[in-house]
């Protein structure tokens, strides 16, 4: 299987930025305390993911076996299923 390399990682970064902006927009709506806390936690997770992906772009990570990829990302979505891969 051919990977998209750095371009694929850049695409993921763009998707994460859009997702983060959409989540932040939700915070501006009228929410219950639980909804507000949940969205706050999701924003923290999304910001961290965005920072990690940005670092992978800067390091020019080309494939999933690259050390910087393995050491940071452990959750993978495939066909609507979440898989966890450990080092």
Q: How far apart are CA 43 and CA 32, in angstroms?
A: 16
Domain ranges of the chain: 5-84
Query: What is the greatest pairwise CA distance in the chain?
Result: 45
Q: Give the pLDDT confidence of 28-66 residue by residue, as tens digits.
A: 999 999 999 999 999 998 898 888 888 888 988 877 788
pLDDT tens, 68-83? 877 765 677 788 887 7
Q: At what angle do helices 5-27 and 33-58 cross, to 10 degrees?
A: 160
């Amino acid at each position: 299987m051919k990977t998209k390399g750095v371009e694929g990682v850049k695409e993921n970064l763009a998707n994460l930025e859009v997702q983060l902006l959409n989540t932040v927009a939700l915070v501006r709506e009228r929410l219950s305390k639980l909804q507000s806390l949940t969205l706050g936690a999701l924003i923290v997770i999304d910001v961290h993911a965005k920072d990690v992906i940005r670092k992978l772009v800067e390091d020019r990570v080309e494939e999933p076996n690259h050390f910087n990829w393995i050491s940071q990302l452990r959750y993978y979505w495939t066909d609507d299923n979440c898989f966890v891969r450990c080092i």
